[in-house]
Structure 1
Amino acid sequence: MTEQAAPTPRDPAASGKQESAAAHPQNPADFGRVDPDGTVHVRTAAGERVVGQMPDTPLDEAMAFYTKRYEALAVTVELLEKRIDAGSVSPDEAAHLIKKERQAIAEASAVGDLDALLARLDALAPKLAEQREVRRAEKAEHQAATRTTKEGYVAEAERLAAGNDWRGGVNKFRDLLEKWKALPRIDKATDDELWHRFSSARTTYTRRRKAQFAEQAHKRDAAADEKRRIITEAEALADSTDWGPTSGAFRDLMTRWKAAGPAPREVDDKLWATFRGLQDKFFEARTAANAEQDKEYKGNQDAKEALLAEYEPQIRPTDDLDRAKTAYRELLDKWSEIGKVPRDAIRPLDQRMKALENAIKKVEDDRWKRTNPEARARAEDTADKLRSQIAEQETKAEKAEARGDNRAAEQAHKAAETYRTWLEQAEAAVNDFSG
C-alpha cells in the first residue's frame, strides 16, 4: 500500500468547532497510513507515530481496525461531554476523567483526528469553571442556610438550658441533636464554635435538671417524714370524744399536711390513705354522736319555736316600745331556761331572736334622735340662720329695685327662694324632734 498524503495542518480548536458543527465530516483514515508490511501510522500536530502493525492483513482492514479504535475514543469523549452538560458528574470528577481521557488519546493506538478529540476536551474547561463557580455559590448558600439553622438550634438549646422544662426539655434536646446530626458540616471554626455552644447548653441543662430532681427528691423525702409524723399525731386523736378541740386539731393537721408538699408518688398515696382513714374514723364517730345528741335536743327546739310563736306577735316596738321591751325580757328569761337545740336549728332560731332585738333597738335609736337636745338645738340654729339669710336677701332685692337695678334684684330674689327651700327642710328636722 502506498503512503498517503498528510492532511493540511489545522488548528485543534477549529477542529473542535467543526466537530460540533457537523458529525465528524472527515474520514478517520485521512489521519493515518499503512505501510506495505502492515505497520500503521497516525498523524497529529505533534507529528507522525506508529500505532501498531498487522502483517499479512489487507491494508484497508488494518486501517479499519485502528479507525474503529478512534471511533470508540470519540464515543467516549461524546459521552463525557453529555455528562458534563447534564451536570451528572462533579467538576472535579470531570477534570479527572478529562485528564485520564487526554492521556488515553495521547497514547491511543488508533487512527483518526486525535487532535480534534483533544480540542473537544479542552473546550470543556470553561464549562467546568462555570460549574465550579455555580457549585461554589450553591455550597456557600447551603452553608449559610445550614449555619442559620444551627444557630437557631443553638438559640433553642440555650433557651431550654436557662428554663425549667424538666420533663419536656429532655425530648426537645434529643430532637435537636438528631436534627443537628442530619445537617452537613460548615467551615470548621464556625461549626466547632456552634457545636461548643450547643453542647455546653446540653451540659448545663442536664446538670441543672439533675440538681433539680435531686432537690425534689430531698423535698419529697422530707415531706414523707413530715406526713409520717402527722399520721402519728392523728393516731393519738382518732379515738378522742372531745369533739370540738379534736376537730380543730385535725384541721391543723390537714393544714400541715398540705404545707408539707408531695412525697414520692407510691409513698404519698399510701400515707394519704392512712391519714384519711384516721380522719374518717374520728369524724364519723363525731357525726354519729352529734346525730344522737340532736335527737335529745329536738324537744328544746320545739319549745323555743313555741316561745317565738307566742312572743313575736307581742313584740311590736313601733306600736308600744315599753310593752315590746317587757315582752322581750320575758322571752329571754324563758329562752335561757331551755337547753341546747340541734345544730341545724341554731342559726334559724338565733336569726329570729336577733330580728326582734334589732326591731326594738331601731325604735329606741329613732326616739333618741328625736329627743336629743343637742341635735334639736343644732337644727333650730340652722333654721334661724336660714331665716336671717332670707331677710338679708329680701332687703338686698328691695334696695336694688329702688335704684332700678333689676338684675341685682332678680338675683337676690332667687337667692332668697333657695334659702326658703333649705329652711323648709330645716324646719322639718326641728319638727321631728318634737314628735
Structure 2
Amino acid sequence: MAEESWGRVADDGTVFVRTKDGERTVGQWPDANPEEALAFYTRRYDALAFEVDLLEKRVQAGTVSPDDARAAVKKVTSSITDAQAVGDLDGLLTRLEALTPLVAQQREKKKAERAAKVEEAREAKTKIATEAETIAAGTDWRHGVTRLRELLDEWKALPRLDKSSDDELWHRFSSARTTYTRHRKQHFAELSSKRDEAATVKERLAAEAETIATSTDWGPTSGRFRDLMRQWKAAGPAPREVDDKLWARFRSAQDTFFGARDAVQAEENVEQQANLQAKEALLVEIEAILPVNDAKAARDQLRGLLDRWDEIGKVPRDSMRSIDGRLRAVEQAVKSAEDEVWNNTNPEARARAEATVKQLQSLITDLEKQATKHESQGNARKAKEAREAIAARREWLTQAQNALSDFS
C-alpha cells in the first residue's frame, strides 16, 4: 500500500483522500503502480488548486463582478467537495470560504458605486432637463437645436434611474424639446412671411429707384434716394436669392444716378474753382475801397464791383463763407460811412439840437435873473442854489453846442 499525507492507495488499487471528515474514495487504479495512481490524483488536485489560485487573484484584484465571483466560489467549492483528487482539499475549501466576506464586501462596494452612479445620473439628467427647459424658454434658434441634440446624446449615455424618477425627468426633457421645436418652427414660419413681405417692399423700392435713376434734379432726387435706402434697411431681409437680385437692381439705379450727378458736379467744381479765383481777384479791388473817405463815391464804386461779382457765378461751398465774409466787411464799412453822413445832415436831428441849445440858453437867462434877485434880497442860500444850477446848465449847453456843431 502506498500513501502520503493527503491520501493513500489500498492494495486493491482503491485511492483514498484524507479530509477533516475522514477518508473517502476518490477512485481505483487496479494493476497500477501506487505512486503513479497518487500522482494522477494529485495532478487533479493541482488543477483545482490552480483554479482556486486564479479565482483568489481575480477576486482580490476586483476583475470579476461580485455576482460572478460568488457563483464561481460556489461552483469551485462544489467541485472540490466531491473532487476525485488527492491533496489538501480542506485547505482549498478554507481559502474559498475566506473569499466569501471579501466578495460580500465588494458587493456592498459595487452597490454603493451603483447608487452613486445612479445619483450622479439623476443629477446629470436633472441638469439636462433644466437646461433644455431654459433653451425652450429662449429664442436661440441657431444654437439651441444643436445643443438639444447634444443633450439627447448625453441623456442616452447615462444609466437609467428608477422608473418613476426616470420617467418624470424624461417627460420634462421631452416636453422642453417639443416646446422648443414648436416655437422654432413658428419663428421661422413668421420669418419666412416677413421675408416675403420684405421682398414685396424691396421690389417696389427697386422699381422706384430705376424710375428716378435718370433724373437730373440732383438735390430732391438725392434726398429721395436716401429715403429709399432708409426704407430698404427698415424692410429687413428677403429670401437670399431674391434679396441679392433686388439689391443688384437697386444698387445699379443708385450708381446710375449718383454717377451722373458726380460727373456734372465735377464739371461744376472746375467752373466754380475758376469763379473762386476770379472773385478772390475782385476782392482785392473791393477791399481797396477801405478806408472810406467819401461815402457816396465808395457806394458808387462798390455798386459797380458788386455787379461784376454777381456775374462771376458760384464758388465751391467750402469757400463761400470766407469770401462772403470779406465782401460783407467792405459792405458794412460803406454802410457805416453812409449812416454817419446821414446822421450829420439829418434836418430833424439838427432841429432837435438847435432847440436844445435855445432851451438851455433861455433857462440859464432865467436862472441868472433869479440869482440876481435873491442876492439883492440878501437870500444867500437861494442865490447859491441858483448859481450852482446855472453852472450845471452851462456844462449841458456846451455839450449841446458841440453836438450842434457836428451838423454841417
Query: Under a length normalisation based on structure 2, what TM-score does the superposition of the two structures give?
Result: 0.68
- 1:338 is paired with a residue whose SS is helix
- Alignment partner for residue 260 of structure 1, among 224, 232, 235? 235
* 1:28 alignment partner in structure 2: 6
Contact 1:185 1:191 (8 Å CA) reproduced: yes
Q: Write out per-residue CA displacement over residues 282-311 of structure 1, whole angstroms, 9 at most, x where no aligned residue.
A: 222233344455666677555544443322
AA at the equivalent of 2:143: G
Equivalent residue, structure 2, for 1:401: none
1:177 deviates by 3.4
Indicate which of 81, 92, 95 corresponds to 1:106: 81
CA distance 1:192–1:46, change in 2 (3 Å):
farther
Letter in 2 for 1:51: V
- 1:11 alignment partner in structure 2: none
Distance 2:164 2:197 in 1: 49
- Report the equivalent of 2:311: 338
**Which of 105-114 and 83-92 deviates more?**
105-114
Matched, 1:51 2:26: yes
1:301-316 alignment runs, 5 A limit:
301=276, 304-314=279-289
Structure-2 change in CA distance of 1:339 and 1:86 (3 Å)? same
Pairing partner for 2:324 from 337, 353, 358: 353
Aligned partner (choices 177, 181, 184) of residue 206 of structure 1: 181
Cα 1:296–1:51, aligned 2, differ >3 Å: closer, same or farther? closer
1:32-431 aligned within 5 A? 33-45=8-20, 48-292=23-267, 301=276, 304-314=279-289, 330=303, 334=307, 337-338=310-311, 340-342=313-315, 345-354=316-325, 357=328, 360=332
Q: Structure 1 residues 328 and 108, CA, compared in 2 at 3 Å: closer, same or farther?
A: farther
Where 2:237 maps in the other structure, the secondary structure is: coil
CA contact (8 A) 2:16 2:23 kept: yes
Change (3 A) 1:346 1:45: closer
For residues 232 and 346 of structure 1, the distance between their equivalents in structure 2, rounded to whole angstroms, comes to 33
Look up the equivalent residue of 2:134 and give its one-letter code: R
Counterpart CA distance in 1 for 2:272 and 2:280 is 13
Structure 1: how far apart are the matches of 2:128 and 2:296?
89
Does the 8 A contact of 2:286 with 2:302 survive in 1? Answer: no
> Gaps (5+ residues) in structure 1?
5-25, 368-435
The corresponding residue for 1:22 is: none
Amino acid at match of 1:254: M
SS at match of 2:214: coil
Give the TM-score of the pair, scaled to structure 1.
0.64
Q: Which moved more, 1:244-253 or 1:147-156?
A: 147-156
In 2 relative to 1, CA 183–358 (structure 1 residues): closer, same or farther, beyond 3 Å? Answer: farther
Relative to structure 1, is the Cα distance of residues 112 and 271 closer, same or farther in structure 2, using a 3 angstrom cutoff?
same
One-letter amino acid of the structure 2 residue matched with residue 338 of structure 1: E
Offset of residue 95 of structure 1 = 0.3
* Cα distance per residue 1:238-284 (max 9 Å; x no partner): 22233333222222212211211222222222211111111221222
**Is 2:44–2:84's contact at 8 Å kept on the other side of the alignment?**
yes
Task: Kindly state the Cα deviation for residue 100 of structure 1 after the two structures are TM-superposed.
Answer: 0.6
Mapped contact 2:282–2:309 kept (Cα < 8 A): no
Cα 1:76/1:301, change in 2 over 3 Å: closer
> Is 325-334 or 54-63 further displaced after alignment?
325-334
Worse-superposed segment, 133-142 or 217-226: 133-142
The 2-side partners of 1:112 and 1:168 are apart by: 71
When Rg is computed on C-alpha atoms for both structures, the one with the higher figure is 2
Q: 2:77 and 2:253 mapped to 1: Cα distance? A: 98
- Aligned AA for 1:261? G
| Contact 1:157–1:198 (CA under 8 A) maintained in structure 2 | yes
The SS at the match of 1:130 is helix
For 1:27, the aligned partner's letter is: S
Mean CA deviation greater in 322-331 or 141-150: 322-331
3-state SS of the aligned residue for 1:55? coil
TM-superposed CA distance for 1:210, in Å, is 2.5
CA RMSD of aligned residues (A): 3.8
1-structure distance, mates of 2:127, 2:23: 66
| Aligned 8 A contact 1:153 1:198 in 2 | yes
Distance 1:79 1:292, change over 3 A: closer
8 Å CA contact retained: 2:280, 2:323: no
Counterpart secondary structure, 1:50: strand
Q: Secondary structure at the match of 2:15?
A: strand
SS at match of 1:88: coil
- Does the 8 Å CA contact 1:161/1:204 hold for their aligned counterparts? yes
Distance 2:295 2:108 in 1: 115
Segments of 5+ residues of structure 2 without an aligned counterpart are: 340-408
Matches of 1:349 and 1:321, distance apart in 2: 29
**Contact kept? 1:38, 1:56, Cα under 8 Å:** yes
Q: 1:295 to 1:116 in 2, by over 3 A?
A: closer
**In 1: Cα distance, 2:154 partner to 2:301 partner:** 87
Is the CA contact 1:40–1:62 (under 8 Å) kept in the aligned structure 2?
Answer: yes
Structure-1 separation of matches of 2:302 and 2:42: 144
